[in-house]
Amino acid sequence: PDGSIEIPVAVNVLYRTAAQNISLAQIQSQIDILNKDYNGLNSEYGSVPYYNSVKAAVGIHFVLDTVVRKSTTRTSWATNDAMKRTSTGGLNAITPDSVLNIWIVGAMTGGVIGYAQFPGGTAATDGVVIVHSCFGNTGTAAAPFNLGRTATHEIGHWLNLRHIWGDANCGNDFVGDTPLHNEENYGCPTLPHYSTCTGTPIEMTMNYMDYTDDACMYMFTQGQKTRMLATFLTGGGRNGF
């Protein structure tokens, strides 16, 4: 299905302040970033260090389908999916079997900036959640999460990607061409940053599935591409798309 996958996107905006009711321009800026990051069209793609030979243009396109807006008095949301149901103060998902739902919230408890549901979960809560100030690259988007890479990362999870460090010291991310990492990386690491795991590889801190700043993550690998595209096959959990 390489190159032929088109994902309709519904953006569900839950705002308390006027600023949190993000503009259509901010929403569209995020869609544009996804179309770059998932197709090797981001500005950094031509100059990936160390891992140029495994970088991948995934071949998935995103199209803005629906925007729904709702005012709320809630200042903060937990990662318990309350924002995904009208009955708990949120907004119900729109046809989640064939539309990627994104919920935009003012803030999340614990400083979380986004979270995602993996394939195979409950349809009603399927999709990703992102704090307004980490969405797109204009309007309320704020550094260091102002290049739209939080959505790139969360949609990676939504397409079955694990964190590159496998959520453990030298953990497994089930992708063959990503190196072992000791743990997550933050900020903008000085390169090369070596792992002390088996083989002491250079860590792929520039991968979208690390925790580095938006400006310092800019690639998926061929192995990640294969894993993501497998979700669109029968039984992969995303075959409704």
70/107 with CB nearer ligand ARG: 107
Which one of the spans 50-58, 144-152, 198-206, 227-235 is the region binding ligand ARG (CB under 6 A)?
144-152
- Give dist(CA 138, CA 122) in Å, integer: 32
Peptide bond into 189 cis (omega under 30): no
27/175 with CB nearer Ca ion: 175
118 binds ligand ARG (CB under 6 A): no
Token pair belonging to 240: 């409704």
Using alpha carbons, select from 111, 158, 101 the residue that is nearest to residue 134: 111
Sign of CA dihedral 62, 212, 76, 15: negative
Only one residue has tokens 């907004």, namely 91
15 binds ligand ARG (CB under 6 A): no
Which one of the spans 54-62, 169-177, 184-192, 206-214 is the region binding Ca ion (CB under 5 A)?
169-177
Active site residue 183: no
175 binds Ca ion (CB under 5 A): yes
**Angle at CA of residue 69, ends 67 and 72, nearest 5°:** 155
202 binds ligand ARG (CB under 6 A): no
User: Of 6, 154, 184, 203, which is the active-site residue?
Assistant: 154
Catalytic residue list: 154
